[in-house]
Structure 1
Amino acid sequence: MIHIFSALIPVFSLILIGYFFKRIKFPSHEFWPQADKLTYYVLMPSLLIYKLSSASLDSDNSLEFVGSALLTIFLTMIILIVINKIKPTSPSAFTSIVQGSIRFNTYVFLALAGSIFGNEGLILSAIILTFAIPFINILCITIFALYVSNDKLDFIYLLKSIFKNPLIVACIIGGGINFLGIHLPLVLNNTLEILSHAALPMGLLSVGFGLVIREIKSSKSEVIIAIIGKHIIFPVLIFIFGKIFGIDGMMLSILVLFGVLPTAPSSFILARQLGGDVGLMSSIITVQTLISMLCILFVLHYFV
């Protein structure tokens, strides 16, 4: 239990420090959005390329491992659609509920997986996000197309949202280098390693800066539905699928950890671009981030 706390506390401390920096306007409000861009487009891709290009990707249950995650994402969305039929909410609010229930915070995932399970855990989490990010993008954009009328939504927009994502591109590059047996030049490899060391700290600080506490005051029932979807339905389903596919050990632990992560801050951007409920999305992101430590602690206590 002590090693779980020692892994969790630094991760969530960095998030709180990021929020503290926001409150005291350090170094400035203009700095952190730019820092987030640096992390998203440079530091995090460097980490993924560096890790995946030299990782041992041979795993007996890789297909079942990834399949459990994708099936859970899809079935969670279907359950939410059924819930929305029984207890309807506005279309824009429903898109935010779906995003809050099936998206995940990449920075928190990689930080925890690496801190608790080491390099192998970091690689397994990167494998999940390689497939989960494009799949989630497809589902979320489909939900926007079905529930919110928007001229921006078409097949080209969908493709752009996937192939312009630097994390997906980095995973493809890193995995391709590994698969082809290419050895990166030592200078390039060392450069990627140095950049990768800054990725998770900067990412977690940016998560803290993105918290908007004042938004937690309305749409309480929708926030609760998103919490139930993300922190109850999702982890239960992913555990069931993992067991059905015979996954155990570290892989099962990482699957369940993936299941209780807070939703992604990028959900807010998609909600703003495509006509979702922006205020509700901010509330969901903030509340889930704040309560996720307890959920993650509970999961790790029983699965690590």
Structure 2
Amino acid sequence: MSLIFSALIPVFALILIGYFFKRIKFPSHEFWPQADKLTYYVLMPALLIFKLSNASLEAQNSFGFILSALLAIFFTMIVLMIVNKIKPSNPAAFTSVVQGGIRFNTYVFLALAGAIFGNDGLVLSAILLTFAIPFINILCITIFALYVGNDKLNFIYLLKSIITNPLIIACVVGGSINFLGIQLPIILNNTLEVLSKAALPMGLLSVGFGLVIKEIKSSKSELIISSIAKHLLLPFFIFILGKYFGLDDMMLSILVLFAVLPTAPSSFILARQLCGDIGLMSSIITVQTLVSALFIILFLKFFV
């Protein structure tokens, strides 16, 4: 346990270093948004393609593994909608509550899965991303359409958000290479490997840069509801469903880890594009990123 815990310290240390760089404006405020684009469009896809194309994709009960996550996400959203009927929020704020309750931070997820479970955990996590990212995109865009409405929200927008997502594309490409038994040229494979090593450190530094601690001033009730859904309700659903589908210990542990992580920084971008509550969304991202450390420690105690 102590070895695993010590492996997690660098993950959160990089997040804090990213925040420290933001505070001292190093190298500049303009640098980090561009670095985040590099990570999102180049480094992370390289990591996913490299890992999936070279993995042994023989995991048993992968159907139950994927379905447990998707059903848990859907049930959590339904509960949030019911809560909103009982205690209504402003529609724009509710979209941020839902994003906070069902989305996840890809960078932190892959970094922790790799640190705790090694390469097998990283591969299972990448497989989960292939299905969870488009499913969550569909749910979030549907919520925006139902609660705030927007001329941008149509089937074309939804389809574009999925097929242009570099992480989804990378998972499909890497999985296809593996499934078809294609051997990548050694030079290309080695290039992907080198790029992949930079993905998670850069991603975690960007997570730290995105924290806005001094601006946590949005509605406390919505912030609390969203965080309870993310850190308690979603893990509960995912654990029960994982047990129901008879998943092995590693699969169940990866699902619970997936569930307790903070929401995605990209939630802010969607909130800004589709008229959500960006102040609340920013607060939810920051608070969940900070308090997730406690839930990850609890996860380590009971699941590792």
- Conserved in 2, the CA contact under 8 Å of 1:17 and 1:205? yes
**Matches of 1:62 and 1:213 in 2, distance apart?**
39
Superposed CA deviations along residues 43-100 of structure 1, whole A, max 9, x for unmatched, are 0000000000010111111000000000001000000000000110000000000000
**Matches of 1:190 and 1:8 in 2, distance apart?**
27
**Matches of 1:114 and 1:103 in 2, distance apart?**
20
CA positional deviation for 1:301: 1.1
Identity among equivalent positions (%) equals: 78
Q: Could you tell me which residue of structure 2 aligns to residue 189 of structure 1? A: 189
Tell me which amino acid in the other structure corresponds to 1:11.
Answer: V
**Matches of 2:7 and 2:108 in 1, distance apart?**
11
**Matches of 1:81 and 1:300 in 2, distance apart?**
31
Unaligned 5+ segments in structure 1 are none
Q: Could you tell me which residue of structure 2 aligns to residue 218 of structure 1? A: 218
- Conserved in 2, the CA contact under 8 Å of 1:11 and 1:111? yes
More displaced stretch, 220-229 vs 2-11: 2-11
Q: Could you tell me which residue of structure 1 aligns to residue 256 of structure 2? A: 256
CA positional deviation for 1:4: 2.9
- Conserved in 2, the CA contact under 8 Å of 1:8 and 1:293? no
CA positional deviation for 1:3: 2.1
- Normalising by structure 2, report the TM-score: 0.99
Superposed CA deviations along residues 251-299 of structure 1, whole A, max 9, x for unmatched, are 1110100010100000000000001000000000000000001101101
Q: Could you tell me which residue of structure 2 aligns to residue 2 of structure 1? A: 2
Tell me which amino acid in the other structure corresponds to 1:280.
Answer: L
- Conserved in 1, the CA contact under 8 Å of 2:49 and 2:173? yes
- Conserved in 2, the CA contact under 8 Å of 1:53 and 1:174? yes
Q: Could you tell me which residue of structure 2 aligns to residue 32 of structure 1? A: 32
1:298 paired to 2:301: no
**Matches of 1:130 and 1:46 in 2, distance apart?**
15
Q: Could you tell me which residue of structure 1 aligns to residue 49 of structure 2? A: 49
| Number of equivalenced pairs | 304
Runs of 4+ in structure 1 over 6 Å off = none
Unaligned 5+ segments in structure 2 are none
Q: Could you tell me which residue of structure 2 aligns to residue 18 of structure 1? A: 18
- Counterparts of 1:156-175 in structure 2, within 5 Å, are 156-175=156-175
- Conserved in 2, the CA contact under 8 Å of 1:257 and 1:296? yes
- Normalising by structure 1, report the TM-score: 0.99
Q: Could you tell me which residue of structure 2 aligns to residue 153 of structure 1? A: 153
CA positional deviation for 1:110: 0.2
Superposed CA deviations along residues 13-39 of structure 1, whole A, max 9, x for unmatched, are 000000000000000000000000000
**Matches of 2:59 and 2:2 in 1, distance apart?**
29
1:267 paired to 2:267: yes
Superposed CA deviations along residues 162-200 of structure 1, whole A, max 9, x for unmatched, are 011000000000000000000000000000000000000
**Matches of 1:267 and 1:221 in 2, distance apart?**
19
**Matches of 2:161 and 2:253 in 1, distance apart?**
30
**Matches of 2:275 and 2:245 in 1, distance apart?**
38
Aligned-CA RMSD value: 0.6
Q: Could you tell me which residue of structure 2 aligns to residue 126 of structure 1? A: 126
**Matches of 1:175 and 1:247 in 2, distance apart?**
22
Secondary structure class of the residue paired with 1:149? coil
- Counterparts of 1:81-160 in structure 2, within 5 Å, are 81-160=81-160
- Conserved in 1, the CA contact under 8 Å of 2:15 and 2:205? yes
- Conserved in 1, the CA contact under 8 Å of 2:4 and 2:115? no
**Matches of 2:168 and 2:189 in 1, distance apart?**
19
**Matches of 2:128 and 2:251 in 1, distance apart?**
11
**Matches of 2:7 and 2:288 in 1, distance apart?**
19
Secondary structure class of the residue paired with 2:11? helix
CA positional deviation for 1:249: 1.1
CA positional deviation for 1:8: 1.7
**Matches of 2:220 and 2:302 in 1, distance apart?**
30
**Matches of 1:270 and 1:259 in 2, distance apart?**
21
**Matches of 2:284 and 2:169 in 1, distance apart?**
28
CA positional deviation for 1:10: 0.6
- Conserved in 2, the CA contact under 8 Å of 1:92 and 1:148? yes
- Conserved in 2, the CA contact under 8 Å of 1:257 and 1:300? no
